[in-house]
Amino acid sequence: MDIGYVEALGIRPPRTDRSIAVDAMQALDGTGVAGDRHADPLSPRQVLLASAAIYTDLTLPAHALAENLLLDLDTSSLSSGTVLEIGDAVRLRLMFQCEACGYLDAYKAGVAARIGRRRGVLARVLAGGVIHPGDRIRDLGRQLPAWSDDWRERVAQVLCALPDGMVLTYAQLARLAGVQSTYCRAFPRLVKSLGHAGTAVSSQAAAGLQTWDGSGLFDDKAGAA
């Protein structure tokens, strides 16, 4: 079912904080967007999709949300596990709604509090290809397991997938759960409260232990929901 189209595209190059507009982008299978700082095969936040309407509603400057795809639809209504087809080739797996960051208030006071679930939705690339403005978007339905919008529940999801006899570093746990590295300071207490004490440790404590890199966590085979 067609649900909308792509209005504009943007990329955040490595080691930069600003997005730049592009006329086309290359989506890479299982990795993200070519040339974008968030391209990472072991991340659930490879691509950010945002609604064009939020820019009008909150009078934000272009690229304030640092989205890769600006869409003419309400991204807050999209469900995790859904697969979107962009154009004729690209397929994206929707992961979870992006949390509003305080830096948004640099553009306009109070934006972070007002934006709520309309910050955008994060996705992984199932099938790559070139994306252009004007490409239509088709909802292929929910085909894969859902991931929680709550970062704590995502941490629990990652820990439950940890292979027996292995550990995760806090940094890798943050990467796999799709949270900022600053959250690592909350991990010791959270991991213990979740009943996984000793499974996630600091980099120093991981020395000599068998650590998991997250291989197999994102089983992006459609139909696994």
* Per-block mean pLDDT, blocks of 10 residues, the chain (225 long): 94 86 96 96 96 88 90 95 96 93 66 78 97 97 95 96 94 95 90 92 90 90 53
Residue found by looking up tokens 């941490």 in the block: 155
Do residues 115 and 108 make contact, with C-beta atoms less than 8 angstroms apart? no
Question: How many CA atoms are closer than 13 Å to the CA of 198, on its beta-carbon side?
Answer: 4
Rounded to two decimals, the pTM is 0.92
Whole-angstrom Cα distance, residue 92 to residue 124? 6
pLDDT of residue 116: 76
Do residues 122 and 151 make contact, with C-beta atoms less than 8 angstroms apart? no
To 10 degrees, the CA torsion angle through 191, 194, 197, 200? -40
Do residues 62 and 95 make contact, with C-beta atoms less than 8 angstroms apart? no
Domains observed in the chain: 2-142 (2.40.33.20), 151-201 (no CATH)
Q: Would you state the structure tokens that stand for residue 130, as one six-digit string?
A: 């070139």
DSSP state of 33: E
| Strand, coil or helix: 62 | coil
The amino acid at 37: R
Whole-angstrom Cα distance, residue 222 to residue 217? 14
